[in-house]
Structure 1
Amino acid sequence: MSSSVDVILPCLDEAEALPALLAEIPSSYRAIVVDNGSTDGSGRIAAELGATVVTAERRGYGAAVHAGLLAATAPIVVCCDADGSFDMRQLERVVDPVRRGEADLVLGRRVAVTGSAWPVHARVANAVLLWFVRRRMQVGLRDLGPMRAADRERLVRLGIVDRRSGYPLELVLRARRAGWRIDEVPVDYRPRVGRSKVTGTVSGTVQAVGDMLRMLRRYA
C-alpha cells in the first residue's frame, strides 16, 4: 500500500539517532533517508529498519532534500532533520493543515524542551535572519526550522535551486512569491543525538546564515 505522506530525512552520520527516530514515525508514513556521505553505516542501518534509502552524491543540505523529493511519490512530503531533535510523533501537526487544504506550506516552529536543545548562537542567528525576512518579504514567521510539510508536486514545480544551507529560505521566498499560504505550528525541539555537524556548531551556523543572507539578497 502506498503512503499518503513521505518523510524526507537528510542524513549525514546519524547512525546513533536513526533507530529511535524511525520507530517514532507513524506507520502510515514512509521514511526516506537520504544518505549524504555517511561513513558510520547510517544508510545500512536505515534500510535494515525498513526505511527507503537513497543517496545524494552531492554534499549539502539542499542537495539531500532535493534527492529525497525526487524519490518521493506520496501526495504530501515532510522534511525533517534525522538527528533525533524532533519528535516524529508530532509530524501530523505540520501535515494536517496541508492535508485539510488550510495551508500550502507549514513549518514547525521549534519550542526547546530544554535549554541545551537549541544553542544560543543558533537561536540568535535564526532570530536575526527572520528579522530580515519579515522586513524585506513580509513573511510573518518566527522560525525557519527544518521541519516542514507541503504538496510534493507543487514543491517540485517551485524550482528551488540552492543545494546548500540556503534551501529552507529559498523555499519560503519562492513560496511567498507564488502566493502560497504559509503557516507555522509549534513542535517540540529536543537535544540532538550525537555530535552536531552544522547549526550546533558556531562555524556551521555562520556558514548557514551566510548562505541564507546571500539567498535573501538575491530575492529581496
Structure 2
Amino acid sequence: MNNTIAVIIPAYNEEQSIAHVIHDIPKNIANHIIVVNNNSTDHTQQIAENAGATVLLEKQMGYGYACLKGLDYIAKNNINPDIVVFLDGDYSDYPEEMIDLVKPIITQNYDMVIGARTKSGREKHSMTPQQIFGNWLATRLMKIIFNAKFTDLGPFRAIKYDSLLKLNMQDKTYGWTIEMQLKALKQKINYLEVPVRYKKRIGVSKVSGTIKGTIFAGIKILSWIFKYSFK
C-alpha cells in the first residue's frame, strides 16, 4: 500500500499489553505508530519506546485528551497521513485486522470504517453487560434519530485524515467515539462497519471496569446523542 497511515494508541497503565499491541500492528501498512501515555504510573512509556513506537506524554487524563495529543503531534510534525487509525492499548483488539479497516478506505473510497465487535467475534466475557447494553442503546438511538447503520461504538477505527480534520473533534474524555460517529452522520461522510474480533483485555478497564467510569461514560454518550438530535 502506498498510503501513509498513522496509528494513535491512547494508553494508561498498559505496561503488560502495550508491547503486544505494537508488535502485532502490520508494519507494512503502518508508517507511524504513536502511543500517547496518558499520565501512566507504571512502565508503559518505556516499554512502548522499546517496542519502537513514538511515545508522547499527555498529563491531562482522558481518552479524548490522549487522541487529541496524537493528532496535535501529527499536525505539528507535518506528517499529513492519508489515514489515521485509532487502536486501544489493552490488547483487546486484534491489531493485525487493521488491514480490514483501511482496505475499504483505499479500495472503495470510504471516509471512515468502524471495527464492529460482533457477538460471533467476541470472546466470552470480553465485554461487560453494561458495555453491550450501552452500545445497543446508543446505536439504537442513532438509528431512530439519524437513521444510522452503526451497531457499535468500537474504538478500533480508521478514518481519512482530511475527513477527520473536518469533524473538528473536541471531546476530551469518554465521548470521543460517539462524537466522531455523530459528526460523521451530520456531515454525511461515507462510512462502513466491518466485523472485528475482540478478546478479554489485559488488566482492568478504566471505564467499564469501574462503576464511576461506566456511569460517566453512559452520561457522556447519551448527552452527545441528545445534543446532536436538536442541532
- Which TM class, normalised by the smaller chain length? over 0.9
**Partner residue in 1 for 2:65:** 63
RMSD: 1.5
**Partner residue in 2 for 1:16:** 16
Mapping for residues 55-204 of structure 1, pairs under 5 Å? 55-72=57-74, 73=79, 74-111=81-118, 112-204=121-213
Identity %: 31
- Consecutive unaligned residues in structure 2, runs of 5 or more: none
* Distance in 2 (alpha carbons) for counterparts of 1:58 and 1:79: 19
Secondary structure of the residue that 2:36 maps to in structure 1? strand
User: Which TM-score applies when normalising by structure 1?
Assistant: 0.94
Confirm or deny: 8 A CA contact 1:8 1:65 kept in the other structure: yes
Query: Which residue type is aligned with residue 7 of structure 2?
Result: V
Query: Which residue type is aligned with residue 119 of structure 1?
Result: T
* Distance in 2 (alpha carbons) for counterparts of 1:56 and 1:91: 25
Shift of 1:113: 3.5
Secondary structure of the residue that 2:131 maps to in structure 1? helix
Confirm or deny: 8 A CA contact 1:129 1:209 kept in the other structure: no
Confirm or deny: 8 A CA contact 1:69 1:156 kept in the other structure: no
Equivalenced residues, count: 219
**Which aligned segments of 4 or more residues in structure 1 are displaced greater than 4 angstroms?**
none
- Consecutive unaligned residues in structure 1, runs of 5 or more: none
Shift of 1:6: 1.1
Confirm or deny: 8 A CA contact 2:3 2:83 kept in the other structure: no
Secondary structure of the residue that 1:100 maps to in structure 2? helix
Secondary structure of the residue that 1:22 maps to in structure 2? helix
* Distance in 2 (alpha carbons) for counterparts of 1:210 and 1:44: 34
* Distance in 1 (alpha carbons) for counterparts of 2:154 and 2:143: 15
